[in-house]
Structure 1
Amino acid sequence: MLRSVARALIRPLVLAAATSAIPLASTAPVAADSVVVGGFPIDVSQAPWTVALSSRDRFGGTRAGQFCGGVAIARTTVLTAAHCLAEDVLGSPPNRVRDFRVIAGRTDLLADRGEEVAVRDVRINPGYDSGTNAGDFAVLTLAEPLPRSAVVAMADAGDPAYTPGTQALVSGWGDTTGDGAYTRRLHAAHVRVLPDDLCARAYPGGPDGTYRAGSMLCAGEAAGGPDACQGDSGGPLVAAGRLIGLVSWGGGCGRAGNPGVYTRVSEIVRTLDAAPGGQKRSHGTH
């Protein structure tokens, strides 16, 4: 999850075992090392829709320039978090980042497997509120299509995948210890969809943020445990084979009483459908 007081840079993020979490303190996206807790390594074939956002010019080549996550919802369309594309993160508007690419089909960021595809266009949700994290999504259009097998369906409103208690998988890359020990390999964690009333009690307002059930959902464990964290932002939360959330924000990582908050995909579906011309995408089925 990405949330804290000052964010000059979003660090790459992963899901891995950890004994402690880095507390995050505000609703604004943040730049700090952190860790995804309670996770395990996976092969990208287990979550082929998971992609990495990359700019070597901005973030260097040590980890192929990876700085955030994303998810393929059509062969030339990727969703990510809006806050990943802020100018203080990229150093310029995203459409002006010369080497902005999506890395797909690759477990190890430095391997030859998979492909790196140029981002042709970036559209940040015009309703995104950086102060509250509401509407935290952006749409990337790729210069070349990804394989059909890389696309995941989006769950519409009313899909049973949103039912509290449903097990979901969140995936991404990043720091496995909080001390700069960044993994090159894709990791994932199992989390459960949590009830909206629990999330609203966890984030009633103030420095820990405000949970808005219409556009957000939360997942994890009420007692703490597996969770996404800084750098996983924009990555997928998938349940029953359908995309239900994008990693967005939260009060710390894996802490009791502070579950991870995700952009609710049914709200993204509604927003894209309402946009002029709509948006080509893959729907979930009920």
Structure 2
Amino acid sequence: MRPSLARALIRPLVLAATLTAIPLVGAAPVAADSVVVGGFPIDVSQAPWTVALSSRDRFGGTRAGQFCGGVAVARTTVITAAHCLAEGVLGAPPNRVRDLKVIAGRTHLLSSEGQEIAVQDARVNPGYDSRTNTGDFAVLTLAKPLPQSAVVAMAGAGDPAYKPGTQALVSGWGDTTGEGAYARRLYAAHVSVLPDDQCARAYPGGPDGTFQAGSMLCAGEAAGGPDACQGDSGGPLVAAGRLIGLVSWGSGCGRQGSPGVYTRVSEVVRGLDAASAGRKLPHKGS
């Protein structure tokens, strides 16, 4: 779930365009691992809301153009990490990337199962701060609807699914080792929601980043192990059948004392509620 280069550095967990070439080892910042450092393979039917963001023009066809994850929260709405749509990642503003698609219902990236749907509109949270990773979410509108069975509910503020100790599942097609082993099939990992004070101690500020409980949560294990990694950014963290987090950033992958940090979905819910009330999320460089 984290950017890559020297895994000790903090970065968003998204595949950089420079990682397009295989073997994709030791490249630029990435996002979450395929949730999968210490993970296991699953069929997409076990987490049908998990989708891949794809641009073959930008990232090549070796892995169907996958560079980030996303989550279906309505039949034509997918949310992902804001940093996945950065011009530095896509090479252009997202609404100008002609082949930006969402791959849904697919376990193996190179199979023909599921569907590839064009992104009709991309909007980035206006409160997103790339320096601090706060507000790290964006909303994609699809050109065609997904089946209702692919949609997951979002957990609002006060939902018990956010309680520390709750078991959660993170899923994606990212790096499964922290060393550039990018998956072509879907992986998942079991992680525990951690207390905010533990996350704050792990990321008190400085080179390892700053944890902000209002817009973030973290998950993992105290001893390290299961975690998201590069290429998993924007993917889902689900607990008790509800979406509680989006893979965002971290320090290394699966390291002791450095849990994965996720965008807190209750903040996404609040942002979408504000948008529906008339304060719409702006287009990102369209």
What range describes the TM-score normalised by the shorter chain of this pair? Answer: 0.7 to 0.9
CA contact (8 A) 2:13 2:233 kept: no
Q: Is the 8 Å Cα contact of residues 77 and 139 (structure 1) preserved in structure 2?
A: yes
Shift of 1:184: 1.3
Contact 2:57–2:65 (CA under 8 A) maintained in structure 1 = yes
Q: Secondary structure at the match of 2:253?
A: coil
- How far apart are the structure 1 equivalents of 2:177 and 2:199? 27
Name the counterpart of 1:263.
263
- Indicate if the aligned counterparts of 1:217 and 1:263 stay in contact, CA closer than 8 A: yes
Distance 1:184 1:278 in 2: 40
1:146 maps to amino acid: L
**Could you say what the CA RMSD is over the residues aligned between the two structures, in angstroms?**
1.8
For residues 27-42 of structure 1, the aligned pairs below 5 Å read 31=16, 32=27, 35=33, 36-42=36-42
Distance 1:222 1:62 in 2: 35
The answer for the alignment partner of 1:25 in structure 2 is 9
Kindly provide the CA deviation profile for residues 99-133 of structure 1, in whole angstroms up to 9, marking residues without a partner as x. 10000000001111100000000000000000000
Within 5 A, what are the aligned runs for 1:122-271?
122-271=122-271
Contact 2:12 2:250 in 1 (8 A): no
Alignment partner, residue 76 of structure 1 = 76
Distance 1:199 1:236, change over 3 A: same
Aligned to 2:272: 272
> TM-score by structure 2 length?
0.88
> CA separation in 2, counterparts of 1:176 and 1:214?
29
Where do 5+ consecutive residues of structure 1 fail to align? 6-21, 280-286
Q: Could you tell me how far 1:23 is from its partner in structure 2?
A: 1.7
CA distance in 1, matches of 2:278, 2:228: 30
- Aligned residues: percent identity? 81
**Aligned-residue offset at 1:62:** 1.0
What is the CA deviation profile of residues 33-73 of structure 1, one whole-angstrom value per residue up to 9, with x for unaligned ones? 77531100000000000000000110111111000000000
Distance of 2:62 and 2:191 partners within structure 1: 30
Q: Distance in 1 between matches of 2:182 and 2:139?
A: 26
Counterpart of 2:122 in 1: which secondary structure? strand
2:141 maps to a residue whose letter is T
After superposition, what is the alpha-carbon deviation per residue over 1:74-97, rounded to whole angstroms, capped at 9, x for unaligned? 000000000011111100000000
* 8 Å contact kept, 1:28–1:132: no
Query: CA contact under 8 A between 2:57 and 2:99: conserved in structure 1?
Result: yes
Contact 1:272 1:278 in 2 (8 A): no
TM value normalised by structure 1 = 0.88
C-alpha separation between the residues in 2 aligned to 1:24 and 1:124?
A: 28
Q: Tell me by how many angstroms 1:174 deviates.
A: 2.5
| Of 266-275 and 65-74, the range deviating more from structure 2 | 266-275
Q: Is the CA contact (8 Å cut-off) linking 2:37 and 2:175 kept in structure 1?
A: no
Task: Judge conservation of contact 2:10–2:252 (CA < 8 Å) in 1.
Answer: no
Q: Say how many residue pairs are matched.
A: 263
> Could you tell me which amino acid in structure 2 is paired with residue 82 of structure 1?
A
SS in 1 for 2:136: coil
Residue type at the aligned position of 2:153: A
Distance 1:178 1:122, change over 3 A: same
Question: How much does 1:3 deviate?
Answer: 3.9
Distance 1:234 1:2 in 2: 11
The whole-number CA distance in structure 2 between the counterparts of 1:143 and 1:102 is 10
Shift of 1:27: 5.1
